[in-house]
Amino acid sequence: MSEGGTHLAIAAARSGATVAPTSTAGDADLVARVRAALAGVPDPELPVLSVVDLGIVHRVEATDDGIRVDILPTFIGCPALDVIRDSIAGRLAVFGRPVAVETTFVVPWTSDRISEAGLAALRSAGIAPPAAPGETRCPWCDSGQVVMDSAFGPTQCRSLFYCRGCRQPFESLKSV
Amino acid sequence: MTAVAARPTALAGLLRSMADDEFVIGFSDSEWTGIAPILEEDIAMSSLSQDELGHAAALYGLLATLEDGDADALAYDRGPADFRHARLLDHGRGDWAMTIARRYLYETADAVRLAAVGDGAWPPLTELAGKIAREERYHVAHVELWLDRLARADGEPRDRLVAALTALGPDAGTVFGPLPDEAGLVADGLLDAPMEVLETRWRATIEPRLRGLGLPVPPPTRDRDTSRTVHDPAFTELWSMITSVRRSDPGATW
């Protein structure tokens, strides 16, 4: 845990905040441009995916006064959150107005939020997409003859597998 | 939100108990990083601990919004006597069997507690509890696997597990020790039942598994009233480690 306060600022669950059911607000054209820019921000731990493909962008609000992006952590204690916040703020700096990136748990991030493009990108990087128990397939050879070595892998969101088909180890995104 | 305005102290007590539990077990079990019995467990215990510390950070964050405080200060600037974790967690990580026994008792209790706050009246907590519960499912599955593995191995692994469960037994139920203004929490819908009821639910979930494995079932909780208020001196040592960096240069930005 960082002691600087930024990490603990996941506090964000901002007790007073109200969240509209829509995922965007403000100037529609500006919001669209902001979303397009976010599609170019890679996830630091899975750089083959953008934060949009990973499904962690919950809400974008953009007006002349500023831009606010609410993100959903994949895992609550994800140490990459600060990097993600900084990357988003850096990418959106071109819009020339204040940018706030907030963390929210108003809906849980679930693995089915990953886009089709995101799932394909994961496979191409040798990481199996999230799957129900027993349904994981090898990202290299598509075999279903796989065994989980450990539910816990190099990051909080990944598990370790071995493929008996092509005899390769691989990782899988946890299903949450 | 009205629940908060009506009884912020009671809500703060609930948040503090949950946050302190996750903080203490997360920190304590992170000691296994690099020295667990097998490489996969080095990784697993590190990942589990990272999850717990993340949960603690988020819970302290909510507490900070209620008390107009700072999450880091809540985590690091209190003395050991001000912590409100369950006495079960004063028992150190010990050997691997002790770690598994402690984690089994705690994770199963935490799951019951999360379910009891998961449909509560204060959205920030119910949203967070729901998210935490999704992660904790992996923790429960993992520790149940190890409990079974140690229990079914004849000889030393099983003997050590039995010894650990026996030593922890009287403190096992302290996760369900009384909370400040618990009746208020229940009345306001922040908790779906009193802690004693949650303890009954918890015992009903663990006893069949423990009995099935021929393992000792926790006896009634010792000194239930002081479950979270009176701590073993062993915790002071852990607290000293947890806060040593912070205390080495108060006010520094890391």
C-alpha distances (whole Å) from A153 to each of A130, B42, B43 are 14, 10, 6
Out of A8, A78, A79, the one facing B71 most closely (by C-beta) is A8
d(C-alpha A3, C-alpha B251), whole Å: 10
- The mean pLDDT value for B127-153 works out to 96
Pairing assessment for the beta strands A66-71 and A57-63 based on DSSP bridges: antiparallel
- Tell me, what's the pLDDT at A20? 36
Please name which of B113, B34, B47 lies closest in space to residue A77, comparing C-alpha atoms: B47
Query: How is B102-125 classified by DSSP, letter by letter?
Result: HHHHHHHHHHHHHHHHTT-S-HHH
Q: What is the mean pLDDT of chain B?
A: 95
Q: Is the pLDDT of residue A3 over 60?
A: no
- Tell me, what's the pLDDT at A31? 95
Q: What is the CATH number of domain B8-215+227-248?
A: 1.20.1260.10
Q: Which residues 6+ apart lie within 8 Å of B32 measured at CB?
A: B41, B42, B45, B46, B49, B93, B99
d(C-alpha B218, C-alpha B229), whole Å: 21
Q: Which amino acid is at B49?
A: S
Interface predicted TM-score (ipTM) of this complex, two decimals: 0.86
- Tell me, what's the pLDDT at B253? 82
d(C-alpha A34, C-alpha A52), whole Å: 11
Partnered with residue B92 across adjacent β-strands are none
Report which secondary-structure segment, H or E, holds A9.
Answer: none
B117-133 residues labelled b (16+ CB within 10 A) or e (exposed):
bbebbbbbbbbbbbbbb
Q: Which amino acid is at A105?
A: F
Q: Helix crossing, B8-29 with B39-67: angle to 10°?
A: 160
Q: Is the pLDDT of residue A25 over 80?
A: no
Show which residues on chain B lie within 8 Å of chain A, measured between beta carbons. Answer: 1, 4, 40, 43-44, 46-48, 50-58, 60-62, 64-66, 70-72, 75-76, 122-124, 127-128, 130-132, 134-135, 138, 141-142, 245-246, 253-254
- The mean pLDDT value for B198-207 works out to 98
pLDDT in tens, B230-245: 999 999 999 999 999 9
d(C-alpha B138, C-alpha B128), whole Å: 17
Confidence of residue A10 (pLDDT cuts 50, 70, 90): very low
B48 — phi, psi (to 5°)? Answer: -60, -45
Query: How is A105-153 classified by DSSP, letter by letter?
Result: -SS---GGGS-HHHHHHHHHTTEEPP--TT----TTT--S-EEEEES--
Q: Which residues in chain A touch residue B56, judged by CB atoms under 8 angstroms apart?
A: 1
Q: Which residues in chain B touch residue A133, judged by CB atoms under 8 angstroms apart?
A: none
Q: What is the dihedral of CA B90, B96, B101, B107, to 10 degrees?
A: 80
Minimum distance, in Å, between the CA of residue A18 and any CA atom of chain B: 10
Q: Which residues in chain A touch residue B48, judged by CB atoms under 8 angstroms apart?
A: 152
pLDDT in tens, B72-118: 999 999 999 999 999 999 999 999 999 999 999 999 999 999 999 98
Taking CB atoms and an 8 Å limit, are A105 and B128 in contact across chains? yes
What ranges do the domains of chain B cover?
Answer: 8-215+227-248
Q: Which residues 6+ apart lie within 8 Å of A116 measured at CB?
A: none
Which one-letter DSSP state was computed for residue A79? T
B243 — phi, psi (to 5°)? Answer: -100, 0
Secondary structure (3-state) at A173: strand
Q: Helix crossing, B96-117 with B156-172: angle to 10°?
A: 40
Q: Which residues 6+ apart lie within 8 Å of B144 measured at CB?
A: B104, B209
CA geometry: angle B103, B108, B114, nearest 5 deg: 120
Q: Which residues in chain A touch residue B33, judged by CB atoms under 8 angstroms apart?
A: none
Minimum distance, in Å, between the CA of residue B43 and any CA atom of chain A: 6
Q: Which residues in chain B touch residue A171, judged by CB atoms under 8 angstroms apart?
A: none
Confidence of residue A23 (pLDDT cuts 50, 70, 90): low
- Tell me, what's the pLDDT at A32? 95
Token pair in block for residue B227: 């479950």
Residue showing tokens 């102290």 = B9
Q: What is the mean pLDDT of chain A?
A: 86
Minimum distance, in Å, between the CA of residue B154 and any CA atom of chain A: 24
Out of A14, A108, A151, the one facing B134 most closely (by C-beta) is A108
Q: What is the pTM of this model?
A: 0.90
